[in-house]
């Protein structure tokens, strides 16, 4: 039984959690501006341009340049490499948002440092929220959202720590996290409270936590897929002799090649798909304990299964010759759209047994 002192302590913890979440939003905003500065001031250096876009082509027409002393030197004409899909293009990755410059790299490091600080503040806010209710901190949409963005940023920082080339995702990630937290604090906020009996189960720790992890990692894969489509169009235009606009060139030439982005998105989605399979199985077991049936075609159950089918089709399409590249990418984005609908649309617009979780 909660004493007045315990209730007051829990309310204080809930208030501290809110302060930490808002503080993390402020730091994420600073990280956003730092990432903008990285892209703005990280113009590509001569060395970066040469490494990222040019290769020497054996037998190419020679270029004669005037050397010191009045003589001439003969150089091979460089070839602009424009494609990176297996067997058709072979493009090296771009130099990243920093553009290979010291100034751009400085802003990028500041942005990453601010992102780490914001992540720690947000994670502390999630943990404090859990302490205020003495349960898993994802019993409603507000708690799910703040945990979702925390896990997404954590996954990004883990990839950075593993020396993966993902700093180009920083601006997109921070922007979407600010959007997620803005929606959560403005429209989804719910006061700390205990769960209804059906949710008060150890399966909450298992089923919902894996759903959050899957969604966060699926988001990173979707971001890579979107950038793949833009970069692939850019490379196609270059291969066809076209001239992309100055803004598109400034951004897209610094990204990894289309082939690298495509491979990145595929590996991310393939790695987390088994966990999504486990999430659905765990949900069915929990439904059996709570409602006496494992499957009842509840809207949440249906759309979880539709999402699973969509990602399964995407992974299968990657192994099918006619569905590689852009077709498979569109399917991956459709699968992630199903996940987003399953979270926002099903929870808010459709009625079912999961509706009692509220917002």
Answer yes or no: is pLDDT of 157 > 90.
yes
Q: What is the pLDDT of residues 170-204, one digit of tens each?
A: 999 999 999 999 999 999 998 877 777 767 788 88
CA–CA distance, 310 with 248 (Å, rounded to integer): 31
Does pLDDT of 152 surpass 60? yes
Query: Given this model, what pLDDT does residue 257 score?
Result: 94
> Is the predicted pLDDT of residue 51 greater than 70, yes or no?
no
pLDDT at 183: 96
> How many Cβ atoms sit within 10 Å of the Cβ of residue 338?
21
Q: Report the pLDDT averaged over residues 271-290.
A: 94
CA atoms within 13 A on the CB side of 74: 4
**To 10 degrees, the CA torsion angle through 35, 40, 41, 43?**
120
What is the per-residue pLDDT across 70-128, written as a single tens digit (0 to 9) for each? 444 443 333 434 343 444 467 889 999 998 899 999 999 999 999 999 999 999 999 99
pLDDT digit string (tens) for 122-149? Answer: 999 999 999 998 889 988 899 999 999 9
pTM: 0.86
* CA 38 to each of CA 104, 109, 160, 255, 312: distance values in angstroms, whole numbers, following the listed order: 5, 9, 17, 13, 37
The reported pLDDT for the residue numbered 100 is 87
Q: Looking at residues 18-31, what average pLDDT do you find?
A: 98
Residue matched to tokens 């959007």 = 179
* pLDDT of 214 higher than 90: yes
Answer whether residue 208 shows pLDDT above 70: yes
Query: Would you say 33 and 174 are in contact if contact means Cβ atoms under 8 Å apart?
Result: no
How many other CB atoms sit within 10 Å of the CB of residue 56? 10
pLDDT at residue 339 is higher than 80 = yes
pLDDT over 70 percentage in the chain: 84
pLDDT of residue 325: 86
209 vs 349, residue with greater confidence: 209
What pLDDT score was predicted for residue 267?
95
Give residue 91's pLDDT: 87
Contact between residue 111 and residue 55 where contact means Cβ atoms under 8 Å apart: no
**pLDDT, mean over the chain:** 85
Task: Write out pLDDT tens, residues 25-44.
Answer: 999 999 999 999 999 998 75
Q: Please, which pLDDT band fits residue 247 given cuts at 50, 70 and 90? A: confident
């Amino acid at each position: 039984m909660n004493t007045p002192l315990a209730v007051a302590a829990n309310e204080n913890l809930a208030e501290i959690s809110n302060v930490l979440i808002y503080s993390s939003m402020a730091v994420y905003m600073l990280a956003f501006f730092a990432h903008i500065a990285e892209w703005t001031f990280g113009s590509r250096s001569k060395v970066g341009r040469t490494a990222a876009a040019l290769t020497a082509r054996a037998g190419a027409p020679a270029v004669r340049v005037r050397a010191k002393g009045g003589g001439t030197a003969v150089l091979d004409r460089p070839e602009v490499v424009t494609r990176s899909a297996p067997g058709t293009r072979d493009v090296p990755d771009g130099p990243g948002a920093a553009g290979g410059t010291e100034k751009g790299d400085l802003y990028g490091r500041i942005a990453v440092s601010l992102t780490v600080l914001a992540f720690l503040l947000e994670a502390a806010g999630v943990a404090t929220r859990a302490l205020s209710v003495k349960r898993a901190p994802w019993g409603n949409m507000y708690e799910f959202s703040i945990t979702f963005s925390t896990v997404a940023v954590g996954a990004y920082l883990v990839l950075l720590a593993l020396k993966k080339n993902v700093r180009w995702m920083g601006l997109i990630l921070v922007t979407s996290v600010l959007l997620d937290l803005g929606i959560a604090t403005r429209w989804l906020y719910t006061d700390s409270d205990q769960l209804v009996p059906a949710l008060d189960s150890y399966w909450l720790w298992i089923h919902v936590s894996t759903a959050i992890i899957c969604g966060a990692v699926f988001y990173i894969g979707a971001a890579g897929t979107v950038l793949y489509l833009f970069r692939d169009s850019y490379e196609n235009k270059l291969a066809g002799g076209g001239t992309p606009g100055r803004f598109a060139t400034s951004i897209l030439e610094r990204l990894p090649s289309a082939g690298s982005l495509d491979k990145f998105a595929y590996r991310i989605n393939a790695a987390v798909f088994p966990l999504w399979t486990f999430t659905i199985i765990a949900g069915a077991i929990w439904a059996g304990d709570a409602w006496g049936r494992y499957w009842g075609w509840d809207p949440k159950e249906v759309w979880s299964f539709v999402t699973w089918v969509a990602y399964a089709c995407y992974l299968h399409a990657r192994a099918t010759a006619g569905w590689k590249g852009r077709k498979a990418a569109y399917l991956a984005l459709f699968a992630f759209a199903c996940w987003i609908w399953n979270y926002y649309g099903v929870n808010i617009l459709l009625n079912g047994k999961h509706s009692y979780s509220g917002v």
